[in-house]
Amino acid sequence: MRGILIAGLLALVGGYLVARWLSARALNGMQRELAQLERARKRFIATASHELRTPVFSLGGFVELLEDEELDAPTRRRFLGHVSEQVERLRKLSVDLLDLSRLESGTLELRPEQVDLAELTRSVSAEFEVSLSHHDSRLELLLAPRVEAACDPVRLAQIVRILIDNAVTHTPAGTAIVVTTAREDGRVRLAVRDDGEGIDPAAVPRIFEPFYTADDAQGSGLGLAIASELAERMDGRLKVETAPGATVFTLELPAAA
């Protein structure tokens, strides 16, 4: 009887010690995660402020220059051109930052419906007419009929815009950007391919991080971070295959029933 009592007591004390040890470990782990989150949040705010500062300072500079009443008309027009460029940059940046923060806090609302991929791709492509002609490249659409996704059409259009925008930036002048759609096993796919220089394999794992840019193009590095978060929120995913001369971003989404 005493033996059983002692064994019981030992089991109790042992159990208590193990539980305490485990909860201290869990607590340490949680503290580490919280500290990491806090660091990420601070880094996000620091980088965002830095990104905002550049166009704001540049705007201030041009406004000061424009105050000179003796400026000749062509110079004034040139300065005004820079002003509207910086305003556009600020507009895009503020919309992107808001989207990203809503995505990360889980407060971005999605309105899924049945979306025809061909129709949506055609309408987004039309927005690129001017930038394509400036760049002397063209869009080739290979759109399968009746490919329908279950997703938010506004957000899908945003992803397609981000992918085509990157392709236009990176493909050499005179080449075609090819957009294809397909349906397979309850999933739909939309792929955007360009003939550009490709992405350094070492940079590939980082291109979906906010603010990461693998080149010195003028972007803020938010496009792909937003696109991949959006894809995941719509139960899809975004992946990339890249080599010098061929880069393909493929978006996969659930097919509409």
Q: Which residues bind ligand ATP (CB under 6 A)?
A: 162, 166-167, 170, 194, 196, 199, 207, 212-215, 217, 219-225, 247
CB of 116 to ligand ATP, least distance (A): 25
Q: Determine the residue with CB nearest ligand ATP.
A: 219
- The item of ligand ATP, Mg ion, none sharing an interface with residue 196, based on CB under 5 to 8 Å by kind, is ligand ATP
Q: How far is CA 214 from CA 24, 48, 144, 165, 172, in A?
A: 41, 17, 33, 15, 17
**Residue 198 near residue 247 (C-beta atoms within 8 A):** yes
- Asked if 166 interacts with Mg ion (CB under 5 A), we say yes
> What is the longest distance spanned by two Cα atoms in the chain?
106
CB of 170 to ligand ATP, least distance (A): 3
Which of the residues 16 through 45 are near Mg ion (CB under 5 A)?
A: none
Q: Which of 121, 114, 254, 249 is nearest to 184 (CA)?
A: 254
Which of the residues 209 through 228 are near Mg ion (CB under 5 A)?
A: 219, 223
CB of 175 to ligand ATP, least distance (A): 12
Q: Which of 234, 225, 242, 243 is nearest to 188 (CA)?
A: 234
CB of 83 to ligand ATP, least distance (A): 19
- Listing DSSP states for 107-120 in one string gives ------EEEEHHHH
> Binding residues for Mg ion, per CB under 5 A?
166, 219, 223
